[in-house]
């Protein structure tokens, strides 16, 4: 299988291969170099870019936007330079890309650290506490960056929100990508219904952060959740630092 | 028309003008029945992409222990896209409706039609459509056991609409009534 990186990003190719638990070799070529990434049963086992091997190769190629790629199924290697899970690699890669995009903005850095940052975090906490009081069957909520890292959380019971929200970030990204590809228009929200819970995710304007809200399946009210999520994303957006 | 297609047609009629597309999809991303009324919405692409969404949702729900996935509702500026597992979780049903649709009504209709669709899926397709990860099943399945039903004619709603426009005729009463919202 061959293609162009203008049509599909390396992160997407990695995700699709890993979700399908493939064993394959991805070769991509861009003005920045030539990379080989080996998959075994849906995990990345080896990556090589020039003299560089290992996880760093993945982080360096994730933002390649031009070039060509080829995918050879069942190609394998005996080398094992990557030990991190594919989802962890993509999350870390996304975080590094976000950091490099905002890293030159020293005002934003100051706002996120120090007293300004503390005030902002406190404001987020207050907003989420207000949301908790209004949602029927409330379980938890959080303001999450597109890198899967929580900015603020509020939970009614002890949960592993780092794990849950990083996983839900992957789902939201996949949904966003899918809806864009099929021409369905801008994504507003995604509601996952499971046996035990409703989990609603809604982007803040700019699509760099999203609100995640969960309620009990038995007592939750979907209309209530969707309405409140709209209201509270606006409030969270107002509390964000201005660029 | 197979029983599955008949039910889909009936569902489409009840949803009326808000209907865009619907498919019954195996977890391999292949649709076994359904179609799209809008040529801008490729039913095959929707099936494949939302199979990935449902696979990931299922994995996440198992990993974080929030119970099995029932459905996933996506709201975009143009559409609602609801994907829900059928009784046999190796299939899911995806419906795309305009953003003008009444969401509550859509969900109720899907609740009503889901059991009928589950019953109508031919048994011999079930094994063939199991996802790649289900290795035990795949090992037991002979390579030549590709059921004919999987290759049966898909309803092409767009083609139906084109034929009506080209002929300028009145479709038969049943066909016409199927697209009238009650």
Nearest-neighbour CA in chain A from B68: distance (Å): 5
SS3 call for A67: coil
In a 3-state reduction of DSSP, which class is residue A57? helix
8 Å CB contact of B40 and A188: no
Side by side, the strands of the sheet bearing A52-53 are: A2-4, A68-73, A24-30, A33-40, A43-49, A52-53
**pTM tops 0.80, yes or no:** no
Q: Residue B132 is nearest to which of A20, A186, A196, comparing CB atoms?
A: A20
The Cα–Cα gap between B8 and A71 comes to 37
Are residues B76 and A188, on separate chains, in Cβ contact within 8 Å? Answer: yes
pLDDT band at A42 (very low <50, low <70, confident <90, very high): confident
Whole-number pLDDT of residue B155: 59
- How far separated are the first and last CA of chain B, in Å rounded? 23
Q: What per-residue confidence (pLDDT) applies to A159?
A: 86
Residues A225 and A135: their CA atoms lie apart, in Å, by 6
pLDDT category, A241, cuts 50, 70, 90? confident
A166 pLDDT higher than 80 = yes
CB contact under 8 A, A184 and B60: no
Residue A130 distance to chain B (closest CA, Å): 24
Token digits of residue A68: 């060509």
- What is the pLDDT, as a whole number, of residue B163? 44
- Residues for chain B: how many in total? 182
- Residue-level pLDDT at A84: 82
Which residue of chain A comes nearest to B28, CA vs CA?
A: A20
From the list A20, A178, A185, the residue facing B49 with the nearest CB is A178
DSSP-derived pairing of the beta strands A24-30 and A68-73: antiparallel
Q: What is the DSSP string of B47-73?
A: HHHHHHHHHHHHHHHHHHT---EEEEE
Tell me the count of A-B CB pairs closer than 8 A. Answer: 99
Q: What percent of chain A has pLDDT over 70?
A: 91
* Local confidence band at A96 (pLDDT 50, 70, 90 cut-offs): confident
Residues of chain B contacting residue A21, judged by C-beta atoms under 8 Å apart: 132-133
Mean pLDDT of A150-175: 91
What is the set of domains in chain A, with CATH numbers? Answer: 2-101 (no CATH), 110-239 (3.30.450.30)
Show the low-confidence residues of chain B (pLDDT under 70).
124-182
Q: How would residue A105 be classed by pLDDT, with cut points 50, 70 and 90?
A: very low
The reported pLDDT for the residue numbered A45 is 93
Contact assignment for B53 to A171 by CB distance below 8 Å: yes
Between A15 and A104, residue with greater pLDDT: A15
Query: What is the reported pLDDT for B156?
Result: 58
* Phi/psi at B86 (5° precision): -90, 180
Q: What is the DSSP string of B92-130?
A: EEEEEEETTS-HHHHHHHHHHHHHHHHHHS-HHHHHHTS
Residue B159: predicted pLDDT = 52
Q: Which residue of B has its CA nearest to A16?
A: B52
Q: Give ipTM to 2 decimals.
A: 0.74
Rounded Cα distance, A97 and A62, in Å? 8
Residue B67 contacts A where some CB pair is shorter than 8 Å: yes
Which among B43, B48, B75, B135 is the top mutation candidate for probing chain A, defined by the most A β-carbons within 10 Å of its own β-carbon?
A: B75
Taking contacts as CB-CB distances below 8 angstroms, the residues of chain B near A17 are none
Distance CA B141, CA B145 (A): 7
pLDDT at B157: 59
Q: Which residue of A has its CA nearest to B71?
A: A193
Strand partners, A190: A201, B74
User: Which tens digit of pLDDT belongs to each residue from A107-141?
Assistant: 554 555 556 667 778 899 999 999 999 999 999 99
Q: For chain A, what percent of residues have pLDDT higher than 90?
A: 54
pLDDT of residue A111: 52
The tokens for A7 are 């049509």
| A175-194 average pLDDT score | 94
Q: B168 and chain A: CB distance < 8 Å anywhere?
A: no
Long-range contacts, A80-85 (Cβ 8 Å, 24+): A80/A45, A80/A46, A81/A45, A81/A46, A81/A47, A81/A48, A81/A53, A81/A54, A81/A55, A82/A44, A82/A45, A82/A46, A82/A47, A82/A54, A82/A55, A82/A58, A83/A55, A84/A44, A84/A55, A85/A43
For residues B30 and A129, give the distance between their C-alpha atoms in angstroms, rounded to a whole number.
44
Lowest mean pLDDT among A28-32, A88-92, B40-44: A88-92
pLDDT surpasses 70 at A242: no
Tokens read off for A110? 């100051």
Extract the tokens encoding A141: 């909520």
């Amino acid at each position: 299988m061959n293609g162009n990186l203008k049509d599909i990003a390396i992160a997407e190719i990695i995700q699709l291969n890993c979700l399908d638990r493939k064993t394959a070799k991805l070769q991509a070529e861009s003005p920045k170099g030539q990379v080989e990434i080996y998959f075994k049963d849906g995990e990345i086992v080896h990556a090589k870019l020039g003299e560089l091997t290992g996880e760093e190769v993945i982080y360096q190629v994730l933002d390649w936007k031009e070039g060509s790629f080829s995918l050879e199924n069942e190609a394998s290697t005996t080398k094992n330079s990557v030990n991190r899970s594919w989802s962890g690699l993509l999350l870390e890669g996304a975080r590094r890309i976000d950091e490099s995009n905002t890293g030159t903005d020293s005002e934003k850095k100051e706002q996120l650290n120090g007293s300004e940052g503390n005030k902002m975090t406190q404001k987020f906490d207050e907003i989420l506490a207000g949301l908790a009081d209004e949602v029927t069957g409330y379980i938890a909520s959080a303001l999450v960056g597109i890198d899967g890292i929580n900015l603020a959380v509020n939970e009614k019971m002890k949960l592993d929100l780092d794990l849950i929200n990083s996983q839900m970030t992957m789902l939201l990204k996949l949904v966003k990508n899918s809806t864009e590809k099929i021409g369905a228009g801008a994504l507003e929200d995604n509601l996952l219904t499971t046996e035990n819970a409703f989990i609603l995710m809604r982007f803040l304007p700019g699509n760099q952060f999203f609100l995640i809200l969960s309620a009990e399946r038995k007592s939750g009210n979907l209309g209530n959740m969707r309405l409140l999520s709209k209201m509270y994303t606006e409030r969270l957006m107002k509390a964000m630092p201005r660029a | 028309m197979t029983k599955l297609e008949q039910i889909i047609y009936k569902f489409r009629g009840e949803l009326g003008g808000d209907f865009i597309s619907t498919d019954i999809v195996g977890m391999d991303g292949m649709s076994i029945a359904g179609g799209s009324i809008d040529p801008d919405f490729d039913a095959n692409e929707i099936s494949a992409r939302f199979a990935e969404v449902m696979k990931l949702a299922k994995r996440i729900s198992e990993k974080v222990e929030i119970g099995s996935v029932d459905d996933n509702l996506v709201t975009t500026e143009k559409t609602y896209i609801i994907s829900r597992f059928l009784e046999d979780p190796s299939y899911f049903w995806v419906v795309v409706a305009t953003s003008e649709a009444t969401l509550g009504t859509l969900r109720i209709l899907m609740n009503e039609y889901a059991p009928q669709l589950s019953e109508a899926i031919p048994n011999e397709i079930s094994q063939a459509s199991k996802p790649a990860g289900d290795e035990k099943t795949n090992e037991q399945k002979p390579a030549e056991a590709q059921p004919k039903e999987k290759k049966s004619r898909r309803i092409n709603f767009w083609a139906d609409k084109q034929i009506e426009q080209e002929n300028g005729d009145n479709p038969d009463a049943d066909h016409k009534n199927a697209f009238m919202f009650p």
